[in-house]
Structure 1
Amino acid sequence: MSQELIQAVMVLTKQKGFAPEVIFESLEAALLQAYRKEPHSNPDAYVELNRETGAYKVMAKKQVVETVEFPETEISLLDARKIDKRYEIGDIVEADVTPANFGRSAAHTAKQMLIQRLKEAERSVVYEEYYSREGDIITGVITRVEGKNVYINLGKTEAILPPTEQIATETYHEGDRIKCYIVEVKKTTKGPQIMISRTHPGLLKRLFELEVPEIFEGVVELKSVAREPGMRSKIAVYSRDENIDPVGAC
């Protein structure tokens, strides 16, 4: 499983864009959960996974005692000295507690848990990327139109442009590239939900900021925006420099 594990990590790194360490940590967590399903598992166990070879083992701290009463958390002096001859009664040993045949029994459980954890990680990455772009313009491609809803591919996820956020005079066709305003990004159990709009006043404001150098540089300020989407728009502008005409600049 070890080399297959490393290869799988590399594939996921390329396909999903995850940092390898994110995948390794998810694997360790998945293997640990699989271990905890074993009878008499140590509650303080952890998994060590070699990032180069893919080899792993379950480790746990055990106290050195003369007579073992609780094998999950204790180790005899004789067994402790097989690890290191310097151990004495009362010492704490980092012991390998990997169950026999654990690799086969853990593989299926760990795989399912890993898939779930990676889905959660992928959703988190997508959420953070688009959340940071709230209040900004994004360009997407229309993938389909179903009823009155327009589905738009934004790159790493899909968003729905509902009829309430569409311009009445516009028509939308599959394959068209379209600019939208990101109103809000929400976390849901099915992944991030991105609220986009073609009618929001912020769309016009951001377009002016991108197209007019004086606004982008902060010399001219957009004080307010009023829109009748598809019909007309009005903006109020103010110049911080008396030598620049704000209306002429826009």
Structure 2
Amino acid sequence: MTLPRAGSRSVSEPSTESLAEALNALCAEVGIPFDEMLHTVEEALAVAYVRAFNPPGIVTVKLDTVTGALDVTSRVLQPDGSQIGRTLPSEDFKRLAAQTAKHAVLRHIHDLERDKALREVSEHRGELATGIVDRIEAGTVYVDLGRAEGVMPPEEQIPGEQLQPGRPVLVVILDPQRNLRQAQVRVSRAARAFVHRLLEAEVPEIKAGTVEIKALAREPGLRTKCRYRALV
């Protein structure tokens, strides 16, 4: 099993006037609900406004999806517990708003693709996958599996085996793990499941279901013991 690679997308830098139109087109292309993307953009705009101008209170930014106008407001808590709302200037924020919206959209798409890749990997847990050794850091081998990155810590490696970056490697998928940058999954060449799947792939009787593996014991790099029985 080889996971498909994610396609790359680019989003041109829109003005606030064309932002709503660009969001509509992009949401239709990638299949994201418009309201979900708009909420993501407005939250990012509010954070960017606070960083740029540091106004008092809780800042909210609303994007007019027809005109592209920005409505920036803040709510300031008073000593008596009441809140006072006021409108904040947005003219000097428009250029930064367009850039912020662009990055928010790209980040949201990236997060969705990462989560989708994690779901796909979860569906293949316990299966063999062929990848390319990407790098080795502090004894951990990182494997390029396409849309996900395989992480093989030392305890999941065969003792004494020398894996080389750029070379193909066969692993068994164990479990996905979250990473903000990309989808990652723990993989192994030392687990019993690795040998179990190899036997299923290489022994015709096991693959055909006429022989069943009853027990499997393994000392990675040394020996493997297998107990099986014929079903017919």
TM above 0.5, yes or no, is yes
1:206, distance to aligned residue in structure 2 (A): 0.6
1:25, distance to aligned residue in structure 2 (A): 5.8
After superposition, the C-alpha distances for 1:35-91 in whole angstroms (9 at most, x for unaligned) are 9934xx6xxx9958xxxxxx9899xxxxxxxxxxxxxxxxxxxxxxxxxxxxxxxxx
The answer (yes or no) to whether the contact 2:149–2:182 under 8 Å persists in 1 is: no
2:150 is matched with 159
2:141 is matched with 150
1:205 equivalenced with 2:228 (yes/no): no
2:220 is matched with 229
Letter matched to residue 206 of structure 2:
I
2:82 is matched with none
1:6, distance to aligned residue in structure 2 (A): 7.6
1:30, distance to aligned residue in structure 2 (A): 3.5
1:30 is matched with 40
1:112, distance to aligned residue in structure 2 (A): 3.3
> Alpha carbons of 1:148 and 1:108: their partners in 2 closer, same or farther (altered >3 Å)?
closer
Structure with higher RCO (Cα < 8 A, 6+ apart) = 2
The answer (yes or no) to whether the contact 1:26–1:117 under 8 Å persists in 2 is: no
> Alpha carbons of 1:37 and 1:221: their partners in 2 closer, same or farther (altered >3 Å)?
same
1:195 is matched with 186
1:158, distance to aligned residue in structure 2 (A): 2.3
The answer (yes or no) to whether the contact 2:201–2:207 under 8 Å persists in 1 is: yes
1:168 equivalenced with 2:148 (yes/no): no
Normalising by structure 2, report the TM-score: 0.63
Structure possessing the higher radius of gyration over alpha carbons: 1
Gaps of 5+ in 2: 1-13, 47-58, 71-89
1:178, distance to aligned residue in structure 2 (A): 0.6
Quick one: distance in 1 between partners of 2:155 and 2:42?
48
The answer (yes or no) to whether the contact 1:136–1:182 under 8 Å persists in 2 is: yes
The 4+ residue runs of structure 1 with deviation greater than 3 A are: 1-4, 6-10, 23-36, 45-48, 55-58, 103-106, 188-193
Q: 2:127 aligns with which of 136, 140, 160?
A: 136
Letter matched to residue 20 of structure 1:
V
Quick one: distance in 1 between partners of 2:155 and 2:138?
13
The answer (yes or no) to whether the contact 2:212–2:231 under 8 Å persists in 1 is: yes
Question: % of aligned pairs identical?
Answer: 29
Quick one: distance in 2 between partners of 1:180 and 1:193?
14
1:151, distance to aligned residue in structure 2 (A): 2.1
After superposition, the C-alpha distances for 1:93-134 in whole angstroms (9 at most, x for unaligned) are xxxxxxx98x94753342232233112202101111111111
1:7, distance to aligned residue in structure 2 (A): 11
